[in-house]
Amino acid sequence: MIKFATVGAGWIVDSFLKGAKENAPDFVHSAVYSFSDAEGQAFGAKHGITRIYNDLDALGESDIDAVYIANPNAFHYPTAKTLLEHGKNVICEKTSVITSEQLKKLYEIADEKGVIFMEAMKGLYLPEIHQLTEAFSKLGEIHMAKFDFCRYSSKMPALKAGEFPNIFNPAMAAGGLMDMGIYLVYPALYWFGTPSKILADVSMMSTGADACGTVLFHCPAKQEDGVFKNIHVSISYGKTSTSRHDNLIMGDLGVLHIDTMECFDNSYIEYVDGTKEVVTKRDTSFSNMGGEALQFYKFITDKEGTKERYEQSKKLTTEVIATMEKIREQAGIVFPEHVYSL
């Protein structure tokens, strides 16, 4: 049994707990940490947890084996660093860190302590991503991909009412790219490799956060067989409206249509002759965060020999965080100095 604690009290923690319970029954929720004792007590009561912490070092010194972090982005690095230094395994919500230097430091501490650090990205650990990858061979020569993830934020009414939600606050290292855009950057790099050229532009809010943006990647070939070469990838993201755009991977024999890039729920190929073939149809009765919870558990226990898979995960996350930095630099997205500290 692996005993884990949660940091944060939002809906995403509820979703992670559901996924863990469904997919990794030996991964047991055993403690709650929150800045606010009242919030921690309320969240603990909701989930039947009596061990409540509001001192991070006390949590680190406990017998808890692992921690799932889902507090605001600006707190991810210092929270993860403290817990890793105490020898805890850590899975941290995206975007896990602000800089490549921070990520390198966390991996170094994790390796030194013999524990796991993992960025949570649910789509990567669902079976649908492998089904989609296998379908690429049916598309012929792939030349273009178009990814979109724009969703009206549940915090927009509060913002319009004069409040200042964390998700629209640059001091929290938040905004559209860090919340929505990363869902598109991950599969772009997973499938097509690290871009050799990046062009990015954003629309800024009055709060100083980016509301939405577009990014163009020029990606080199990823496979030696020549299926991928000079792929043009465009991504668009946003938090102030919902687009419901189709996502496309375009080849000279057919186009792969993907319903959402968050979890790759449904997809099909439309061939040049107009015929269609279903590729994925996800069972939404199961939590979409179960895959990442199970993979984290396997990394910790090294079930099924996961060391190579863990190294692959680290490599991809390293490339994604470096790319996110370059996008922000191109687009002029800047956070307060304190969030960059080591």
- List Cα–Cα distances, 70 to 15, 90, 339, in angstroms: 11, 11, 16
Q: Which residues contact 326 (CB under 8 A, 6 or more apart)?
A: 198
DSSP 8-state class, residue 283: -
Residue 284 pLDDT grade (very low, low, confident, very high; cuts 50, 70, 90)? confident
Residue of 233, 201, 206 lying closest to 330 (CA atoms)? 201
pLDDT tens-place string over residues 87-127: 999 999 999 999 999 999 999 999 999 999 999 999 999 99
CA–CA dist 173, 292 (Å, integer):
23
- What residue spans of 164-215 are helical by DSSP H? 176, 182-192
Do residues 34 and 8 make contact, with C-beta atoms less than 8 angstroms apart? yes
CA–CA dist 253, 114 (Å, integer):
47
DSSP 8-state class, residue 136: G
Residue 244 pLDDT grade (very low, low, confident, very high; cuts 50, 70, 90)? confident
pLDDT tens-place string over residues 24-74: 989 999 999 998 889 999 999 999 999 999 999 999 999 999 999 999 999
Query: Which numeric CATH code is attached to 127-281?
Result: 3.30.360.10
What is the per-residue burial (b if ≥16 Cβ within 10 Å, else e) of 150-178? bbebebbeebeeeeebbbbbbbbbbbbbb
Do residues 23 and 294 make contact, with C-beta atoms less than 8 angstroms apart? yes
Flag whether pLDDT at 285 surpasses 90.
no
How are strands ordered across the β-sheet holding 117-120? Answer: 52-53, 27-33, 2-7, 66-69, 89-93, 117-120
In this predicted structure, what is the pLDDT of residue 227?
Answer: 53
Q: Which residues contact 72 (CB under 8 A, 6 or more apart)?
A: 166, 172, 173, 174
Range among 8-17, 281-290, 299-308 rated most confident:
8-17
Which helix (H) or strand (E) is 259 found in, with range?
A: none
- SS3 of 4-15: the string is EEEECCCHHHHH
In this predicted structure, what is the pLDDT of residue 224?
Answer: 54
- List Cα–Cα distances, 71 to 33, 225, 298, in angstroms: 10, 43, 24
Structure token pair of residue 83: 């817990």
- What residue spans of the chain are helical by DSSP H? 11-23, 37-47, 56-60, 73-85, 100-113, 127-135, 156-160, 176, 182-192, 290-301, 307-331
CA–CA dist 341, 178 (Å, integer):
18
Domain boundaries, the chain: 2-123+289-304, 127-281
Q: Which three-class secondary structure state does DSSP give residue 149?
A: strand
Exposure of 121 in the CB half-sphere (CA atoms within 13 A): 26
Do residues 96 and 185 make contact, with C-beta atoms less than 8 angstroms apart? no
In this predicted structure, what is the pLDDT of residue 146?
Answer: 98
- Summary mean pLDDT of the chain: 94
* Preceding peptide of 95 cis, ω within 30°: yes
2-123+289-304: CATH topology: Rossmann fold (3.40.50)
